[in-house]
Structure 1
């Protein structure tokens, strides 16, 4: 069925597979660009609302957390709701969130709009991946996942550049206005071209699991995000982390013991799938962290424009866009181990210079190093995700997608919060004392800039540690054909 130009949906009706794929990828592109635009626009938003990096980063980490919480819920909704209706509902929710963000008079309401957008994104991403895995045969999945990677990378090309230009000439509200006509077009196309291709098998949504996951991951994110303001020894931070860890532990225990879990963690019994989920999570931390840190460094430390910071990131995103489909094809020929080792090696080695950024670091070198990092990401992300999914039975594809996306999205959110907290903590500790403010304005400005620079370098040092750990894990990858006797009990 998957190899035919006209496949059949769950109702036996023919449909054009590539038209359906195009609509899915267009919707995915829209939500990805939305997320990445905020990264470049964040310094300007912080200035407009008079907030610091610890508060502003909630637009990113809060978005990722909500996204991550919605992914397993969507995994269950896909088996209860027609996939065409679910996709259109997600795009309508995204439209509502965009309208809230456009009209937000203050930061809390802007964050509210972002949370609504994140809920929609958490529906679109796993739905798109599950459909791609179902309508393409195993030997085609490398190419299919490569197309997904291409869309994600194109979002990284377009998002920062457009956001930079808009921020230099208008304001951040225009960024959200751009999505209003785009979403309406996608809804129109979806009404004509989308089909129900995910088999329905109604499962009860476990509300206790949803509550535990929301409280657990939310408390962890809040705890790590509060470090910059209160320090690691703060009672608020410690209590939040303890509550978060406890709720996450209960959530994992419940998912492993009930009959119809919200998140089927039994997929982690596959060693390669488990390893791929961990490595992908670390890659996300390294990638999201750099995407957030680099604009802060270029705009707040180097004093460059938002457009300039966006353009610095474009070559790397373009290389990632070109390489994601190619890495999917190469994966089919040589396997995952060599690609993963090479990719994580490039990502790790290219992160080292970011630990030693200075006020005179060449922008050309910075652009090149960022491009090398994303080249490494492109060699790891698509192949290792595909290899992990290929070890699972067909009926567990939705579960595998949910676990992979949830794990790496929530880890990306918490990892980003950790990096921002490290940056803020170091910056705060090295900021000149208030008694020095009246002595020499120029000297104080230099000292403040040096404090922010040291904070950025410290955050990249933590990111480097994550990269080294993931690189070490890639050497444990073993090439193994998919086993048809996967233990599901």
Structure 2
């Protein structure tokens, strides 16, 4: 082993001993190192919970919104597409913002944008105001999660990061899972505006609490923003998200100009963006993170997991409502046990990660996901509601074993100066893979259904033919999801426990490993 590597391994061990001693001197802080850290992170977690919950609240309510303000389905989908578009464009910039502005100012700004957007959406007299409200909500949400993750990695000792990220995992996994159920209950008994009004008091409480308690915990620098990188990032990620979202919403199919043109612009812009980031001294998004092997492999796994998770969240409610005739509320309730399991398991898997690492959690979790997706591919009209609920719960259990442990392991490998960039990259690719997964799997389902209709026309009565074609389409989609997860399962055997290199000038691109 080279002399500099030996020296840096020794420094890492010294730092871990120092952190351990400091942690033992603050026993009441538990996982987060001190009481002050605990308060800061809990305030931020509550803000992120409300913001992420809001992402899935609107899906079940779209039909009532269309009827209330008199808009078409294509127009209403902009409330979802616009939201995803803003997040996809904004997240790559968060690495710059986290380095440029203090924790306190950035968090208050993000929560302020989210709260103002929520209020505008709640009182919106028409579509334009409602869309503006959703865009402001998305701007706040896009800032919050990368900021929270960066704060955790700045404050929490490395031996406790799994537990800390597991706590955050409750937010990331439980909030979107209960969103459809909560939305179904509210929309069935009240106006869709209650969805926004119910969020407002919590958002205001978080802002008030943050004003009093939140302190600055990350170091700020004065990075310069490269305007060309910003433009290329906006066109690149925005074009990809918009193109795939348009395909998923059925805007003319994959051959439509609304799909092909944005995607072409997005791909070309991302190629130029990558070249630009690797050739300037202060990149907007530092792509040297991909030089770290564990980070690279973990990012691939997380993108596949996001695609599979979105496939279940999108396809199961469609099957339950259109094939089995369940109400939106009952279709939403099928997701609830899975959300509860994810919420319970996230801190447990976090502690398991601290003790054993991410590899075997990922191997077992992906195996469970693959098996469940295979079972989903062969559900029929006779499959019971309870069986579908159990399978979805097992799928969410598998996801809970992967998401936060793999993400934590990926970021653990980076030097501290790349935390903000690594968080922004993972968050961006998760968002993009979610949009791609939704569009791709819906398209596969639609094509599978169409092929079944063409081949079996006249063999069944019309109502039964429609149900059977939907089942055939779902089989194609879930088999694709199974194939992707199976490939990720193979990749998971290559994971190792990451050891972060020392943050020292000139060492940013080098990897120090104790494997």
TM-score (ref. length: structure 2): 0.84
Q: Give 2:339's match in structure 1, choosing from 313, 317, 328.
A: 317
Shift of 1:410: 1.8
Asked if 1:385 is matched to 2:407, the reply is yes
Q: Name the residue aligned to 2:273.
A: 251
Q: Name the residue aligned to 2:314.
A: 292
Q: Give 2:485's match in structure 1, choosing from 460, 467, 474.
A: 467
Q: Give 1:458's match in structure 2, choosing from 476, 488, 511.
A: 476
Asked if 1:145 is matched to 2:165, the reply is yes
Q: Please, what is the CA RMSD of the aligned residues?
A: 3.0
What 5-or-longer segments of structure 1 have no aligned partner? 8-13
Partner secondary structure for residue 472 of structure 1: helix
Q: Name the residue aligned to 1:207.
A: 227
Partner secondary structure for residue 203 of structure 1: coil
CA distance in 2, matches of 1:240, 1:133: 35
Asked if 1:162 is matched to 2:182, the reply is yes
- Relative distance call for 1:311 and 1:445 in structure 2 (3 A) is same
Partner secondary structure for residue 142 of structure 2: helix
CA distance in 1, matches of 2:77, 2:487: 25
Q: Give 1:75's match in structure 2, choosing from 84, 95, 99.
A: 95
CA distance in 1, matches of 2:314, 2:93: 27
Q: Give 1:23's match in structure 2, choosing from 39, 43, 61.
A: 43
Check conservation: 2:298, 2:406, Cα contact below 8 A: yes
CA distance in 2, matches of 1:157, 1:427: 27
- Relative distance call for 1:127 and 1:481 in structure 2 (3 A) is closer
Q: Which moved more, 1:405-414 or 1:60-69?
A: 60-69
1:82-138 deviations in Å (ceiling 9; x for gaps): 211111111111112213332445556544432321111111101111111111011
Partner secondary structure for residue 459 of structure 1: helix
1:407-463 deviations in Å (ceiling 9; x for gaps): 21222122222223333455567679xxx9xx9xx9544444444444444333332
Q: Name the residue aligned to 1:477.
A: 495
Shift of 1:65: 3.8
Q: Which moved more, 1:388-397 or 1:356-365?
A: 356-365
* Aligned pairs for 1:66-215 within 5 A: 66-105=86-125, 109-156=129-176, 158-215=178-235
Asked if 1:239 is matched to 2:257, the reply is no
* Aligned pairs for 1:345-384 within 5 A: 345-384=367-406
Check conservation: 2:304, 2:488, Cα contact below 8 A: yes
Shift of 1:165: 0.7
CA distance in 1, matches of 2:355, 2:164: 15
Q: Give 1:38's match in structure 2, choosing from 58, 64, 69.
A: 58
Q: Which moved more, 1:374-383 or 1:420-429?
A: 420-429
Shift of 1:190: 0.7
Q: Name the residue aligned to 1:282.
A: 304
- Relative distance call for 1:325 and 1:90 in structure 2 (3 A) is same
TM-score (ref. length: structure 1): 0.88
Asked if 1:304 is matched to 2:304, the reply is no
CA distance in 1, matches of 2:365, 2:496: 16
Asked if 1:423 is matched to 2:423, the reply is no
What 5-or-longer segments of structure 2 have no aligned partner? 1-18, 29-33, 511-515
1:245-264 deviations in Å (ceiling 9; x for gaps): 11111111111111111111
Q: Give 1:261's match in structure 2, choosing from 268, 277, 283.
A: 283
Q: Name the residue aligned to 1:488.
A: 509
CA distance in 2, matches of 1:224, 1:61: 10
- Relative distance call for 1:272 and 1:56 in structure 2 (3 A) is farther
- Relative distance call for 1:319 and 1:233 in structure 2 (3 A) is same
Check conservation: 1:101, 1:113, Cα contact below 8 A: yes
Check conservation: 1:298, 1:309, Cα contact below 8 A: yes
- Relative distance call for 1:201 and 1:6 in structure 2 (3 A) is farther
1:381-400 deviations in Å (ceiling 9; x for gaps): 11111111111112222222
- Relative distance call for 1:288 and 1:236 in structure 2 (3 A) is closer
CA distance in 2, matches of 1:128, 1:111: 26
CA distance in 1, matches of 2:89, 2:251: 26
Check conservation: 2:251, 2:258, Cα contact below 8 A: no
- Relative distance call for 1:40 and 1:359 in structure 2 (3 A) is farther
1:310-342 deviations in Å (ceiling 9; x for gaps): 221111111111111111111122222111111
